[in-house]
Structure 1
Amino acid sequence: MEDIKILVVEDESIIALNIKKKLKSFGYTVPAIVSTAEEAIKMTEITFPDLILMDVMLKGDMDGVQAIEEIRKKFDIPVIYLTAYSDDEVLERAKLTQPYGYIVKPFKANDLHTNIEIALYKHRMEKNARKQDNSNGNCDNNA
């Protein structure tokens, strides 16, 4: 299995460590656990994770949705929200960031693993399709 790095953004340290333990048992690498949106943005720039598991409600001035809005401006990294909040307002805001998943706590480890695998696969396929479109477009321009 390739080395998949997953950044965990969770402000409850016990939950964060539990998530990290589960991710490692699935064979993933966790380069960092952070508890604020600002740290999430900074760590994304430092570690370039393959996927971000993002809690919606975080310590600090920004929430997880705002953090992903900032991260998406610079990076093409899939995100799965992992949160206790499932009300319509939060869900509508989260949808605008085009997440690859939205898991409500408490969650089952198998649900987490399945969502991660689907998100990584979907992101890889979308990236390949964009490359294909770009290479086709370049060929047409050279003709």
Structure 2
Amino acid sequence: MNKKVVIVEDDRLLTIVLRKMATSMGYEVLATCPGGRHAIEIVQSHKPDLVIMDILLADDVSGIEAMKAIRNQSTVPVVYITAQNDAKIRREASSIENSAYLLKPVKVSHLQEAIQTVQFAA
């Protein structure tokens, strides 16, 4: 049985790339979405094994805020993928349990390592 993932990313091209990466690693991509509000709903309804989450999203809910809301009901591991290398944002993202943080551009090998890190922590 394939592990299931939800991808939250507002860049369409990167969403396609992340979908291909996840599929190549044996994940079934349940859904993709560009915004934090929708991400909360999707994760609650689909119950994925993993969330790949950008931090700056298309709506007014950041990836970190979305994960805080998701954490109220789920311990699903999250891998943040972001262009934000700000120490404050990194600290805030790292405060979410069972999370990893990758900077764009993402390599498949780095994504695999990050996923292994959060899965072993789960």
Same-fold call, TM cutoff 0.5: yes
Deviations 1:42-66 (A, max 9, x none): 1001110001111000011111110
Q: 1:54 to 1:19 in 2, by over 3 A?
A: same
**Structure holding more strand per residue:** 2
Root mean square deviation, CA, Å: 1.1
Q: Could you tell me how far apart the structure 1 residues matched to 2:69 and 2:111 are?
A: 24
- Does the CA-based 8 Å contact 2:94-2:101 persist in structure 1? no
Q: Which runs of 4+ in 1 moved over 3 A?
A: none
- Does the CA-based 8 Å contact 2:75-2:98 persist in structure 1? no
Q: Could you tell me how far apart the structure 2 residues matched to 1:117 and 1:60 are?
A: 29
- Does the CA-based 8 Å contact 1:6-1:51 persist in structure 2? yes
Matches within 5 A, 1:30-109: 30-109=29-108
- Does the CA-based 8 Å contact 1:36-1:58 persist in structure 2? yes
Q: 1:84 to 1:99 in 2, by over 3 A?
A: farther
Q: Could you tell me how far apart the structure 1 residues matched to 2:56 and 2:98 are?
A: 16
Please give the TM-score of this superposition, normalised by the length of structure 1: 0.81
- Count residues in correspondence: 122
Deviations 1:82-134 (A, max 9, x none): 111011121122122224210001121111012112311221xxxxxxxxxxx
Q: Could you tell me how far apart the structure 1 residues matched to 2:81 and 2:98 are?
A: 11
Match of 1:19 in 2: 18
Q: Could you tell me how far apart the structure 2 residues matched to 1:90 and 1:7 are?
A: 22
Match of 1:120 in 2: 119
Q: Quick one: which amino acid aligns to residue 84 of structure 2?
A: Y
Please give the TM-score of this superposition, normalised by the length of structure 2: 0.94
Runs of 5+ unmatched residues, structure 1: 124-143
Q: Could you tell me how far apart the structure 2 residues matched to 1:60 and 1:36 are?
A: 5
